[in-house]
Structure 1
Amino acid sequence: MASRVSLKAKGKSSKGSKGTEDRSYVDCMKEWTTWGLRKAKVITHYGFIPMIILIGMNSDPKPQLSQLLSPV
């Protein structure tokens, strides 16, 4: 079963754009889901290593920052 992909032009179109009343609920949900996933990807990308460092610094033996960052 092949899935259908529709390509949409970004920005204003010369043929006239749909008003906000013409957009369906599904289109709005797709837009918000895409927006949310893009933001989550950026947050995860830039926040993962600082989160690991904070968790490591709050652990029981209390290592120093240089001990957390050294590969040994």
Structure 2
Amino acid sequence: MASKVSLKGKRKAGKGSKGPEERSACKCFKEWSTWAMKKAKVITHYGFIPLIITIGMNSEPKPQLYQLLSPV
């Protein structure tokens, strides 16, 4: 039988290498921030126009909804 060769290289611990806890915390933070930014993008995309309409409805003088939505 032929022996299998492992393709994984050995990593040397250098001067600035981080421990496994720091790497996992950094990776967790990156995953969380990516997830949060994706959710914020969706919320902003679908919530911007309703926010503008709500602010317009609460201003003085109080316009009707069709006045807010009409281009004139």
Give the aligned partner of residue 70 of structure 1. Answer: 70
**Aligned-residue RMSD, C-alpha:** 1.5
Letter in 1 for 2:32: W
Alignment of 1:1-72 (within 5 A): 24-72=24-72
- Counterpart CA distance in 2 for 1:24 and 1:50 is 39
Structure 1: give runs of 5+ residues left out of the alignment.
Answer: 1-20
- Give the TM-score normalised by the residue count of structure 2: 0.68
Percent identity for Structure 1 against Structure 2? 73
- Give the TM-score normalised by the residue count of structure 1: 0.68
Q: Secondary structure at the match of 1:53?
A: helix
The 4+ residue runs of structure 1 with deviation greater than 4 A are none
- Counterpart CA distance in 2 for 1:61 and 1:52 is 15
- Counterpart CA distance in 2 for 1:65 and 1:25 is 49
Letter in 2 for 1:43: I
Higher helix share goes to which structure?
Answer: 2
- Give how far 1:24 is off: 1.0
Deviations 1:11-39 (A, max 9, x none): xxxxxxxxxx8761000000000000000
